[in-house]
């Protein structure tokens, strides 16, 4: 009998109880949720920053287009004028491709272009509709200062 009691004592002392495992898993889940919440904010910030950089890149190409053709693309020609020669008047005489494809913002939407500008002081508006994909609200990111109107 002595041998059985020693074995049973060893068995009960050598593992974790179900309650201990549940408590540890609960703590891990709570910590993970907090980390995910913090990272989500960083992901949105990164998307906004990437979109702003995309706007700057396109704006540079529009400046080159304007220098070569004496005017920026029209609203109807849009950013596509930087990729394919426009067929809509005024057709540029000295056209060349400035981009390989029409770029998209960090949310997968095409950038919007408007000439003449309604918000920017640069002569044209170049913007993304932001995370919600709705044009004209506060999350739009453009080549103007937030809250600015011409």
- Tally of structural domains, the chain: 1
pLDDT tens profile 18-53: 899 999 999 999 998 888 877 777 888 899 999 999
Write the CATH number for 61. Answer: 3.30.700.10
Residue 24 within a domain: yes
Q: Is residue 147 part of a domain?
A: no
Among candidates 97, 55, 98, 92, which has minimal Cα distance to 71?
Answer: 92
pLDDT of residue 150: 54
Q: Is residue 72 part of a domain?
A: yes
Question: What is the pLDDT at residue 57?
Answer: 96
CB-based contacts of 64: which residues, under 8 Å, 6+ apart?
98
Residue 3, in any domain of the structure:
no
Residue 77 included in any domain = yes
Which domain covers residue 68, as residue numbers? 19-142
Instruction: Name the one residue in this structure whose structure tokens are 């220098």.
Output: 67
Counting as low any pLDDT under 70, the low residues of the chain are 1-14, 147-150
- pLDDT for 8: 56
Q: Report pLDDT for 110.
A: 94
Q: Is residue 62 part of a domain?
A: yes
Cβ atoms of 112 and 135 within 8 Å: the answer is yes
| pTM of the complete model beyond 0.95 | no
Q: Is residue 4 part of a domain?
A: no
Question: Is residue 86 one of the residues assigned to a domain?
Answer: yes
Q: What CA–CA distances, in Å, run from 7 to 10, 11, 17, 18? A: 5, 6, 18, 21
């Amino acid at each position: 009998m002595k041998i059985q009691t020693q074995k049973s004592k060893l068995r009960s002392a050598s593992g974790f109880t179900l309650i201990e495992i549940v408590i540890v898993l609960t703590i891990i889940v709570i910590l993970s949720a907090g980390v995910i919440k913090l990272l989500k904010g960083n992901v949105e910030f990164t998307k906004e920053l990437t979109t702003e950089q995309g706007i700057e890149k396109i704006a540079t190409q529009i400046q080159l287009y304007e220098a070569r053709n004496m005017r920026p693309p029209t609203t109807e020609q849009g950013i596509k004028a930087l990729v394919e020669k426009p067929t809509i008047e005024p057709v540029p005489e000295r056209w060349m491709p400035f981009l390989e494809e029409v770029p998209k913002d960090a949310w997968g939407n095409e950038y919007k272009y408007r000439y003449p500008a309604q918000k920017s002081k640069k002569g044209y508006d170049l913007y993304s509709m932001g995370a919600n994909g709705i044009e004209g609200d506060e999350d739009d990111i453009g080549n103007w200062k937030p809250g600015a109107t011409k």
